[in-house]
Amino acid sequence: MSRILITGADGFLGRSLVAALAGSGECELLLAQDVREVPAERRLQGVVYERQDVRAADLVETLRRHRIDTVVHLASIVTPGRGSSREFEYSVDVLGTQNLLQACVATGVRHLLVSSSGAAYGYHADNPDWLVETDPLRGNEVFAYSHHKRLVEETLALYRQVQPQLKQTIFRIGTILGETVDNQITALFEKSKLIAIRGSDSPFVFVWDRDVTGAFLHALRSGPERGQGIFNLAGDGALTMDEIAALLGKRTTRFPAGLLTALLWLGSRLGISRYGPEQLDFLRYRPVLLNRRLKQELGYVPSKTSREALLAFIAARAAAGRPL
């Protein structure tokens, strides 16, 4: 590890990785870049902070000025705000990545690490029981995040062909759990009963947030040659909705797919739900990630299985006085 730029450095994953790298003392330079100004109370000693949009035309000058040789690309819109638009999300996720890739090539960056997602595989009825890295990417167009992750990976694949000197490490990350995680998935677990879809086990793979940070650190320490590749990043095993409910001490309520589709359609039409009928596939066709390549080829073994990650999340919520 030498001179590292992290995009999206003030996001959930970014803060964790910046803290880990700053604490390790292994970097000659650590540049934390984010579209937001990082408050003084969150700034760490030894880290250079810079406010800049990943879409900025002068991004190449930033990389050149700081002599960056390694880039960790975390900037992405995971949960859009209410005032967001598909056009804006595309500009950040896809066009921002293209801008960064051009800057990396122009300045001779040697190693690019990217946070992708299992969502890039898409939510499809004919997904295999366990997805591996050679399975096709079919991120659904109806889901902006899934579609954009697919488009980003298509661009990355092109660059591997035409710019092979830029080594890539791509992590397709499962559902992240951690002591302070709050997201669309954890919100489902807060309900008195978990919703399940009749005829679908809706399996989930989880990964502990510290294991995500650990995988990035491992790839950085391995270097651009040994650390390159595409890896599913998830804990061992998967949990069905019934198994999740049992660990939460709750029950599941199973609905016919047709009924949920109608309710979601009506709710979106009336403006009482931000989700439409397409959300059904998000729940019933979860991408289930096999992490064999992560362990055998990259040599990184997550500390927690999917089950252990969920149990640790439940325990952390209870300790914080927020039992599920």
Please report whether residue 59 resides in a domain. Answer: yes
Please report whether residue 197 resides in a domain. Answer: no
Q: Count CA within 13 A, CB hemisphere, residue 253.
A: 9
The model's pLDDT over 268-297, given as tens digits with 9 standing for 90+, comes to 777 776 667 777 888 889 999 999 999 999
CATH value at residue 21: 3.40.50.720
How far apart CA 148 and CA 141 sit, in angstroms, is 8
Torsion of the alpha carbons at 152, 153, 158 and 162, rounded to the nearest 10:
90
Please report whether residue 167 resides in a domain. Answer: yes
How far apart CA 170 and CA 59 sit, in angstroms, is 21
User: Domain limits at 144?
Assistant: 3-182+206-235+288-303
The model's pLDDT over 193-241, given as tens digits with 9 standing for 90+, comes to 998 888 888 799 999 999 999 999 999 999 999 999 999 999 999 999 9
**Count of domains forming the chain:** 1
Please report whether residue 280 resides in a domain. Answer: no
DSSP conformation letters of 15-40: HHHHHHHHHHT--SEEEEEESSPPPG
Please report whether residue 191 resides in a domain. Answer: no
Full pLDDT tens readout for the chain, 324 residues? 699 999 999 999 999 999 999 999 899 999 999 999 999 999 999 999 999 999 999 999 999 999 999 999 999 998 888 788 999 999 999 999 999 999 999 999 999 999 999 999 999 999 999 999 999 999 999 999 999 999 999 999 999 999 999 999 999 999 999 999 988 889 889 989 998 888 888 799 999 999 999 999 999 999 999 999 999 999 999 999 999 999 999 999 888 888 888 887 787 777 776 667 777 888 889 999 999 999 999 999 999 999 999 999 999 999 999 988
Please report whether residue 230 resides in a domain. Answer: yes
Query: Quick count: other Cβ atoms within 10 Å of Cβ 277?
Result: 17
Q: Which residue carries 């006085």 as its tokens?
A: 321
Q: What is the pTM of this model?
A: 0.94
Please report whether residue 198 resides in a domain. Answer: no
How far apart CA 21 and CA 227 sit, in angstroms, is 17
Please report whether residue 51 resides in a domain. Answer: yes
